[in-house]
Chain A
């Protein structure tokens, strides 16, 4: 049995709280572990903020988040009609070495997403960015 949560989200940081609450409710309903709820919220925040902050020139826009929960895997889809952006190839590699003074501030968001998810796919289709992420680590 699979269950789906579909959310329409505006490009406003105020939406983060609503996304978090919806993920927590859905996760509890699907008996996800707290660690899985944490990871899903993190992925949606990191990628959602990218769409909100860099996807459009101005104004408020709407994009879509779809979660599909199965007993052995969870799929996250983020679909927006903002400017073409593939975070998997258009993001510089993170700096994970060096002293406190040497580390650059920021640039860890997409890296965290890559590390926490098992599969990441991007495609541009009919004027939309489609990001699909899969995790099989359900505990």
Chain B
């Protein structure tokens, strides 16, 4: 699981690639855990290049949100394809994790 990351003013931006399913969800979780620093104030998951996610991937996203909450940091996601947005909505994740159309809008919202 490749995770491309960069930081912008205390926000860690991570780009998920390809698929997160039952076969590689653990790798996704380990990559996120390795990338998050205790000094990060927010994590933005850019899902533009993610083509597939199942409940195994949602599980990792919720776990990550819980971990970030403990260090008083926020989680947001951006650039979801229609099927992935549907999965977020059906799971009620859209009520606990802000969804933004683009990284620019997400970063602006995280700063405010």
Contacts from A to B (Cβ < 8 Å): 13-14, 16-17, 20, 34-35, 38-39, 41-42, 45-46, 49, 94, 96-101, 103, 105-106, 108-109, 111-112, 115-116
- Which of B54, B56, B59, B82: most chain A CB closer than 10 A? B54
Q: Which of B8-61 contact A (CB under 8 A)?
A: 19, 21-23, 51-52, 54-56, 58-59
**Which of B22, B58, B59, B92 meets A45, CB within 8 Å?**
B22
CA distance A78 to B55 in the complex (A): 19
CA distance A13 to B24 in the complex (A): 10
User: Knowing A34-B83, A101-B69 touch, does A46 contact B91 (C-beta < 8 A)?
Assistant: no
CA distance A63 to B56 in the complex (A): 21
CB neighbours of A34 from chain B (8 A): 83
A16 near B69: Cβ-Cβ < 8 Å? no
CA distance A111 to B92 in the complex (A): 11
- What are 27 pairs between A and B in contact, CB < 8 Å? A14-B23, A17-B23, A34-B83, A35-B83, A41-B52, A46-B54, A46-B55, A96-B91, A96-B95, A97-B95, A98-B96, A99-B96, A100-B62, A100-B66, A100-B96, A103-B62, A105-B62, A105-B63, A105-B66, A106-B59, A108-B58, A108-B91, A109-B54, A109-B55, A112-B54, A112-B87, A115-B90
CA distance A20 to B19 in the complex (A): 11
3 smallest A-B Cβ distances: which pairs? A96-B92, A109-B55, A38-B83
Give me 14 other A-B pairs in contact (C-beta within 8 A), A20-B21, A42-B87, A96-B91 excluded.
A13-B22, A35-B82, A38-B83, A39-B83, A41-B52, A45-B22, A96-B92, A98-B96, A100-B65, A100-B69, A106-B55, A108-B55, A112-B55, A112-B87
**Which of A45, A111, A112, A116 meets B21, CB within 8 Å?**
A45
CB neighbours of A94 from chain B (8 A): 91
CA distance A116 to B51 in the complex (A): 17
By size class, the interface of chain B is: 20 to 34
CB neighbours of A97 from chain B (8 A): 92, 95
CB neighbours of B83 from chain A (8 A): 34-35, 38-39
CA distance A49 to B65 in the complex (A): 25
CB neighbours of A101 from chain B (8 A): 66, 69
